[in-house]
């Protein structure tokens, strides 16, 4: 289990990704996006509620970072994997 300090480090890292994410308009035109378009309005998220057991999993944290970078837009696994690899959130495929 992560210590409280390590958990805060993971949460701060996810917040840093959110702050550095491109504007939402540029996310819609990304090359890794599926061709289907929906009009879903993403819900707000509370990253401070991240549990220490979840923060331990590097792939789960990378998925969270990808969702934050995509402004919590519904995404296919392929879109998330492309975002994770493009931004080097973690190494996939081991």
Q: For residue range 47-59, what is the model confidence (pLDDT) as tens digits? A: 788 899 999 999 9
Across the range 56-74, mean pLDDT stands at: 92
Q: What are the tokens at 49?
A: 């509620």
Tell whether the model's pLDDT for residue 64 goes beyond 80.
yes
Element (H, E) at 18: helix 4-20
Minimal CA–CA distance to 61: which of 5, 52, 45?
Answer: 52
| Whole-structure pTM value | 0.74
- Give the pLDDT band (50/70/90) at residue 94: low
Q: What percent of the chain has pLDDT over 90?
A: 43
Instruction: Return d(Cα 53, Cα 11) in angstroms, integer.
Output: 13
Exposure string for 2-31, b = 16+ CB within 10 A, e = fewer: beeeebeebbeebeebbeebeeeeebeeee
């Amino acid at each position: 289990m992560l210590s409280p300090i390590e958990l805060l480090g993971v949460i701060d890292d996810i917040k840093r990704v959110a702050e550095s994410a491109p504007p939402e308009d540029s996310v819609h035109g990304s090359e890794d996006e599926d061709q289907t378009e929906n009009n879903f309005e993403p819900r707000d998220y509370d990253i401070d509620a991240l549990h220490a057991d979840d923060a331990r999993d590097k792939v789960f944290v990378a998925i969270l970072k990808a969702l934050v970078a995509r402004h919590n837009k519904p995404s296919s696994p392929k879109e998330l994997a492309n975002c994770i690899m493009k931004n080097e959130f973690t190494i996939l495929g081991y």
